[in-house]
Amino acid sequence: MDLRIALKLTVLEGKLFLRNYINVFFLLLFPSLILLLFGGMFGNEPAAIFGGYGTVDVSVPAYAGMIISVTGLMCLPLTLSEYREKKILKRFRATPLSPHYVIIAQIGVNLLMTVVGMLLLFITARIVFDLHFMGDFLPVVAVFLFSTLGIFSLGFLIAAVAPNMMAATAIAYLVYFPMLFLTGATIPIEMMPETMQKIAAVLPVTHVVKAMKAVWLGESIASVSSSLLLLAGIMVVCFFLSFKLFRWE
């Protein structure tokens, strides 16, 4: 693999990502705005509904699900299907560069932007509200990256099964909105009735939210092993299917 070219392509794709104001809004601003809204309403005092933790302290790790969903379920599949439809992937095939680099660059850019989105949210919460972090650094980073890859695998599957951009957009929205609103990634799952919580349990992002919250609040990785195993299963199945089904043109 030629790292120099991979890096060049990633930097260029990163610039293009940031020139898209929709990406910038939903990834970099929206999570902070929602936090300001809920934090402004409920403050960060210990609340019984959150098991004695503050609203902001519980929301910040939960919003990881929101941020990962934007890059993984929207940016990644929509960009890949756009590049296929516009024959950009094919154009790269007619060069010494393998089009795999385009995919590597997309993973790189989206992973980086996911981290940046999370950092911005963290900074907002830290400055505006008195955010507490009760976990350990390493488990939180590990669960965050693992969750990101798990949701990215779903995004790849969308790009692989959608025959064109229209279909990819339709599927992405159909997957994205339930993942955003029914999983606790935006509206706390604790506030939902029991039946809705049961429905939420089948959505992958629910498990991202659950695992992130747990390690953020200081519980061990082992305590959320079932959620992580589920994400691992999704990752294996989705990556395998995408690999089988993906078409360059």
**Does the footprint of other proteins cover residue 5 (CB under 8 A)?**
yes
Q: Of 25, 86, 166, 191, which lies in the binding site for other proteins, with binding defined by CB under 8 A? A: 86
**Partners of 46 in the β-ladder:** 54
Q: Please give the span between the terminal C-alpha atoms of the chain, in angstroms, as a whole number.
A: 23
Angle at 185 between CA 182 and CA 189, to 5 degrees: 55
**Does the footprint of other proteins cover residue 88 (CB under 8 A)?**
yes
**Does the footprint of other proteins cover residue 9 (CB under 8 A)?**
yes
Q: Roughly what angle, to the nearest 10 degrees, separates helices 100-128 and 30-42?
A: 30
Q: How many residues bind other proteins (CB under 8 A)?
A: 22
Q: Of 94, 137, 195, 222, which lies in the binding site for other proteins, with binding defined by CB under 8 A? A: 94
* Residue 91 in tokens: 């154009």
Q: Of 1, 48, 52, 96, which lies in the binding site for other proteins, with binding defined by CB under 8 A? A: 96
* Residue 80 in tokens: 């890949």
Q: In this chain, which stretch among 41-49, 69-77, 93-101, 216-224 interacts with other proteins, using CB under 8 A?
A: 93-101
- Comparing CB distances to other proteins, the nearer of 28 and 140 is 28
* Residue 137 in tokens: 């650094």
**Does the footprint of other proteins cover residue 217 (CB under 8 A)?**
no
**Does the footprint of other proteins cover residue 100 (CB under 8 A)?**
no
The span from the CA of 60 to the CA of 63, in Å, is 5
**Does the footprint of other proteins cover residue 20 (CB under 8 A)?**
yes
List the beta strands (DSSP E) in 180-233.
none
Alpha carbon distances (Å) from 229 to 110, 113, 200, 221, 244: 23, 25, 17, 11, 23
Q: Of 1, 3, 4, 244, which lies in the binding site for other proteins, with binding defined by CB under 8 A? A: 4
Q: Which residues bind other proteins (CB under 8 A)?
A: 4-5, 8-9, 12-13, 15-16, 19-20, 82-83, 86-88, 90-91, 93-97
